[in-house]
């Protein structure tokens, strides 16, 4: 099958140019091998600039991957987002099928899961937030008529650049993705069970298909990988059931890398572990949607600064407020009013003594009567961050 799609013609790159970029597919340029083929690094010239690339070359005998080849091109040519890989082009020539993406210097997330120095708890919170933003984009923000189910979210399809801010974290691996009607978002798309061991939604066995909550399950496994510092399938054990069991017994600390555990504070750990666990709920309808998930991960990031002695990493020498507002700017600019309202509601954590911020809320003319912030556990600086974020949310909410 040799489909030709004229809408992709502008993305076609001659084989000769890719051979030159990879030094004729030299073995020294191989950076990965998988079921979809061999991945090479290289450099290619575009608009007078040299761009570092990865060239994913489908094996000549892997014609079963032809559909996946065109699926990935179709998806990535459509999706434009800071947290999704950038498609440079493709080659379909002389029996070669190659997808060319921009190179992200640090490679796949899976390489760093057990390294609490390269990926501190602070880094892990930021990375998970950015991946959630990517998932939110394909689930909620792409088109009015359909959304995308990724079907293969795992720590190998998340790639990292030199830094872990914004565009330094990208979701890749769209070769198995499908488009599903927004009108049937909560219904199952019947199809073959596809994915990676340890990440696949067990509900697929019962429903014989997937929907957006299947992606949430897979991401929940990634969250536990990041929390524990271990892979989804390691030492012949699946992490998901292990993590669920320890969460339910209150013993998660027993399976968390000790150096990571020492970097966490109780508030951040609570937000993060609770949402990771909820993503693995057996009933897909009880899993959080991606807007709620993104919100809670952001809150885990905020409260991480509650106990600054646990992790003193401040990469850009920004103050807490500047750092959070910077992240907030990127996060909120595409949220809908209802999603922002959900965030405001989440700033009502639980228990004991409350500070009621009536003046701010009344000035915003929102339907919420008050916002509560737990002042039993929040130190002065973190309280200021909460107030600033509430003010930012309300200001943003009244202008959309």
How does pLDDT run across 228-260, given as a tens digit for each residue? 999 999 888 999 999 999 999 999 999 999 999
pLDDT greater at residue 193 or residue 212? 212
Q: What per-residue confidence (pLDDT) applies to 88?
A: 95
Question: Rounded distance, CA 221 to CA 278, Å?
Answer: 11
pLDDT at 1 over 60: no
Q: What per-residue confidence (pLDDT) applies to 393?
A: 53
Q: How confident is the model at residue 7 (pLDDT cuts 50, 70, 90)?
A: confident
pLDDT at 349 over 70: no
Q: What per-residue confidence (pLDDT) applies to 395?
A: 54
Which long-range contacts link 71-77 to residues 24+ away (Cβ below 8 Å)? 71/174, 71/175, 71/176, 71/177, 72/99, 72/174, 72/175, 72/177, 73/5, 73/8, 73/11, 73/99, 74/5, 74/8, 75/148, 75/174, 75/177, 76/101, 76/174, 77/7, 77/8, 77/11
Q: What per-residue confidence (pLDDT) applies to 302?
A: 80
Q: Which fold has domain 107-318?
A: Transferase(Phosphotransferase); domain 1 (1.10.510)
pLDDT greater at residue 317 or residue 146? 146
Percent of the chain with pLDDT over 90: 48
**Range 379-387 average pLDDT:** 43
Q: Rounded mean pLDDT of the chain?
A: 78
pLDDT at 391 over 90: no
Residue 41: which of 54, 50, 28 has the closest Cα?
Answer: 54
**Nearby residues of 182 by Cβ (< 8 Å), 6 or more positions away:** 143, 144, 145, 146, 147
pLDDT at 387 over 70: no
Question: Rounded distance, CA 314 to CA 335, Å?
Answer: 27
**Range 350-378 average pLDDT:** 32
Residue 56: which of 86, 81, 36 has the closest Cα?
Answer: 36
How does pLDDT run across 14-25, given as a tens digit for each residue? 999 999 999 999
Q: How confident is the model at residue 399 (pLDDT cuts 50, 70, 90)?
A: low
pLDDT at 3 over 60: no
Q: What per-residue confidence (pLDDT) applies to 163?
A: 77
How does pLDDT run across 154-182, given as a tens digit for each residue? 999 999 998 776 678 999 999 999 988 88
Percent of the chain with pLDDT over 70: 71
**Range 25-51 average pLDDT:** 88
How does pLDDT run across 64-100, given as a tens digit for each residue? 568 889 999 999 998 988 899 999 999 999 889 999 9
Residue 331: which of 290, 361, 294, 382 has the closest Cα?
Answer: 294
The encoded tokens of residue 168 equal: 């330094």
Highest mean pLDDT among 130-134, 218-222, 283-287, 355-359: 218-222
**Nearby residues of 24 by Cβ (< 8 Å), 6 or more positions away:** none
Q: What per-residue confidence (pLDDT) applies to 78?
A: 87
- Domain regions of the chain by residue span: 6-102, 107-318, 339-397
Q: How confident is the model at residue 189 (pLDDT cuts 50, 70, 90)?
A: confident
Handedness of CA 281, 287, 290, 293 (dihedral sign): negative
User: How far from 385 is each of 10, 229, 379, CA to CA, in Å?
Assistant: 46, 29, 10
CATH value of 6-102 in 1.50.10.10, 3.40.228.10, 3.30.200.20, 3.40.50.1110: 3.30.200.20
**Range 2-6 average pLDDT:** 57
pLDDT greater at residue 312 or residue 129? 129
pLDDT at 354 over 80: no
Q: What per-residue confidence (pLDDT) applies to 22?
A: 96
pLDDT at 371 over 90: no
User: How far from 263 is each of 94, 116, 271, 307, CA to CA, in Å?
Assistant: 53, 9, 15, 10
Q: How would you classify residue 353: left for phi > 0, otherwise alpha for psi between -120 and 50, otherwise beta? A: beta
Buried-exposed string 50-59: b where 16+ CB fall within 10 A, e elsewhere: ebebbbbbbe
**Range 127-131 average pLDDT:** 94
Topology match between the domains 6-102 and 107-318? no
Q: How confident is the model at residue 119 (pLDDT cuts 50, 70, 90)?
A: very high
How does pLDDT run across 271-330, given as a tens digit for each residue? 999 999 999 999 999 999 898 898 889 888 888 865 443 344 344 334 334 434 444 444
Choose the weakest-confidence range: 44-53, 109-118, 138-147, 309-318: 309-318
């Amino acid at each position: 099958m040799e489909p030709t799609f004229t809408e992709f013609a502008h993305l076609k790159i001659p084989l000769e140019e890719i051979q030159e970029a990879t030094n004729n597919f030299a073995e020294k340029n191989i950076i990965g091998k998988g079921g979809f083929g061999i991945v090479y690094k290289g450099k290619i010239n575009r608009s007078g600039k040299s761009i570092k690339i990865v060239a994913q070359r489908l094996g000549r005998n892997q014609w079963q991957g032809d559909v996946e080849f065109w699926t990935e091109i179709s998806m990535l040519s459509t999706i434009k987002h800071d947290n999704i890989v950038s498609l440079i082009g493709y080659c379909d020539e002389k029996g070669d099928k190659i997808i060319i993406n921009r190179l992200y210097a640090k490679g796949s997330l899976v390489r760093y899961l057990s390294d609490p120095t390269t990926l501190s708890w602070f880094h892990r919170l930021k990375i998970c937030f950015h991946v959630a933003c990517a998932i939110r984009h394909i689930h909620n923000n792409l088109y009015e008529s359909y959304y995308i189910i990724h079907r293969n979210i795992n720590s190998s399809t998340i790639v990292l650049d030199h830094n872990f801010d914004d565009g330094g974290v990208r979701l890749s691996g769209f070769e198995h993705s499908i488009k599903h009607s927004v009108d049937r978002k909560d219904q199952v798309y019947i199809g073959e069970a596809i994915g990676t061991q340890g990440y696949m939604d067990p509900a697929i066995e019962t429903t014989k298909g997937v929907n957006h909550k299947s992606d949430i399950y897979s991401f929940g496994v990634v969250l536990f990988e990041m929390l524990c510092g271990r892979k989804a399938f390691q030492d012949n054990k699946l992490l998901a059931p292990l993590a669920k069991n320890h969460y339910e017994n209150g013993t998660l600390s027993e399976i968390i890398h000790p150096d990571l555990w020492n970097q966490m504070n109780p508030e951040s750990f609570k937000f993060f572990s609770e949402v990771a666990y909820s993503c693995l709920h057996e009933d897909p309808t009880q899993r959080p949607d991606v807007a709620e998930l993104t919100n809670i991960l952001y809150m885990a990031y905020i409260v991480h600064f509650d106990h600054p002695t646990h992790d003193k990493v401040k990469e850009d020498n920004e103050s807490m407020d500047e750092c959070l507002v910077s992240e907030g700017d990127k996060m909120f600019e595409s949220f809908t009013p209802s999603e922002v309202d959900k965030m405001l509601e989440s700033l009502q954590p639980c228990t004991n003594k409350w500070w009621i911020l009536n003046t701010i809320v009344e000035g915003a003319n929102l339907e919420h009567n008050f916002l509560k912030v737990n002042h039993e556990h929040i130190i002065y600086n973190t309280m200021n961050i909460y107030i600033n974020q509430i003010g930012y949310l309300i200001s943003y909410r009244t202008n959309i």
